[in-house]
Structure 1
């Protein structure tokens, strides 16, 4: 035991925590059914994302900026969902609520890395569409493979910095005996609430930074599409306008699926509506797994080149009845 009067309210004694207890899923009425549903969603996310990555990686004609950005988003979806799903599946299917300290911190890092990277990855894809439609003749010179790689590396570096910041903050917090996390998995908010500190400051900092990241990327996407709409309106051919619009449909679906739940959650909390922990946990799980499930399906089904490559692969794998 150790005391830390400067950090612990009322000079309470802190304890060395070796594990945390996930209690946020205790009220789930049918844990096995919910666990199987999460397992199915995770399986579809992994299959869809890995399929997109492999199709793009092994087809040289697809080694273009747009598909590099799709690969980056697929990696984000895998990181984003895998980290949290393992704990939820352990709790719901394995009936194991304990999470050791180190894996809990790793999960916190992966979750916040994914939640930071997702808007960055989507914004990069909007930038790609903007250049492709507004400056088609300069597209190859502006978005060279080198520039694309630098943009992707820069966003991943920013994501790692922010995720490390949140994980580092909670890793240094003192705990005054309670290791229960009334959440679905290890995340910044859950660990701050379990710590022996006044959470107001920590929540204010996190909320400010996270909201800024979200709104800045949403603003970039919005202005990109305003420019795209302006260019499309000036096109003389309705066929060209329709074709240009179709190239943006997949990305617009991805934008809507990710940002609408996030913005609604922010607005709900800003107007003073108090959510129960069960509702909050459900919203976080849905807003994490939902977009990550939609993303690979959208690009598999709506992107002509990926869809064509998949059809070609399946046709080649068919066994002729005469053989």
Structure 2
């Protein structure tokens, strides 16, 4: 790291400037608020339905429940500040809430690919080893996998937040981004950003591609198992059980692979709010058991 002799200052707040050029900020803010509201209501509904229905206490639904909790953290971590700027017209954010938001955003964004990969693993075991499914994915093993996912997410988010929390700032407290996150805070600090980006970029890329590789390998084995099936009806039924998850995989990984975090906030919204919204539509309204349970409760 290059030595830095510039005078540093104690920063008490940051100024969000990444949304200054947004046209019709009230309309955009209202749209974000509506999407966030739907994600929160839908995810909480998913969690409650699974928690209070014993027939749904199976590995697949535990993973869906975990993904719903991740979606709550992930979407909330990006939206609060943007809503405050767009609807409340308040661009200032105090130092402590900024660091909390940075932690929540990276906590959710690092857990999401692991949660999706775990669901691919669940489908792999269910299709390739159906007779051993309940011996491999016991409730204890599922809970351990979910806890490991949350522990890894907490560790990575703590690492990133801890690094930016110790950075020196030189007078300017402007963040030309849409919310507080690692890249925004590093660029605002009076340090050489290259040093802080290289290792973290390599780590983030590794997490993304390792999880994507695990998902691809899982589906390659699933395809092989489906080909071995003699009945076309069984093949079609098995394929249909994977369609929902494949849509979730595509909606999460395609924006991550194609776009960088330096692009306009619309792109940021694409990979921070779109995946949770798709997850809600897929697992709350398209999963047969959850939909039937919701309909029963509404009828009551």
TM class, shorter-length? over 0.9
Structure 2 counterpart of 1:286: 270
Q: Unaligned stretches of 5+ in structure 1?
A: 1-5, 267-274, 317-323
Report whether the alignment pairs 1:41 with 2:35.
Answer: yes
1-structure distance, mates of 2:256, 2:275: 11
What is the deviation of 1:7? 7.0
- State how far apart, in whole Å, the 1-side matches of 2:149 and 2:76 are: 20
Output one character per residue of 1:231-263: Cα deviation in whole Å (capped at 9) or x when no partner. Answer: 000100011001101111111110010001111
How far off its partner does 1:296 sit? Answer: 1.2
Task: Report the Cα distance in structure 2 between the residues aligned to 1:300 and 1:80, rounded to whole angstroms.
Answer: 18
| Residue from 243, 246, 260 that aligns with 2:237 | 243
Q: Tell me how far 1:211 sits from its aligned partner.
A: 0.5
Distance 2:109 2:3 in 1: 30
Assess if the C-alpha contact under 8 Å between 1:7 and 1:174 holds in 2.
no
Match of 2:62 in 1: 68
Partner secondary structure for residue 14 of structure 1 = coil
Report the number of matched residues. 300
Q: Residues 88-103 of structure 1: matches in 2 within 5 Å?
A: 88-103=82-97
Structure 1 residue corresponding to 2:279, chosen from 265, 290, 295: 295
* Counterparts of 1:24 and 1:197, CA distance in 2: 21
Length-normalised TM-score, structure 1:
0.91
From 284, 290, 293, the equivalent of 1:306 is: 290
Structure 1 residue 282 displacement after superposition? 2.0
SS at match of 1:185: coil
Deviates more, 1:36-45 or 1:296-305: 296-305
What secondary structure, in the 3-state scheme, does the structure 2 residue paired with 1:110 have? helix
1:143 paired to 2:137: yes
In structure 1, the residue matched to 2:24 is 30
Match of 2:155 in 1: 161
Computed over aligned residues only, the root mean square deviation of the Cα atoms, in angstroms, reads 1.2
Larger of the two Rg values belongs to structure? 1
Q: Name which of structure 1's ranges 299-308 and 125-134 shifts more when overlaid on structure 2.
A: 299-308
Shift of 1:65: 0.4
Q: CA deviation at 1:84?
A: 1.7
Structure 2: runs of 5 or more not aligned: none
Q: Distance in 1 between matches of 2:197 and 2:2?
A: 16
Once residues 209 and 201 of structure 1 are traced to their aligned partners in structure 2, the CA distance between those partners, rounded to angstroms, is 14
Distance 1:95 1:25 in 2: 10
Query: Is 1:206 aligned to residue 190 of structure 2?
Result: no
Shift of 1:83: 1.9
1:180-204 deviation digits (Å, cap 9, x = unpaired): 0000000000000000100001111
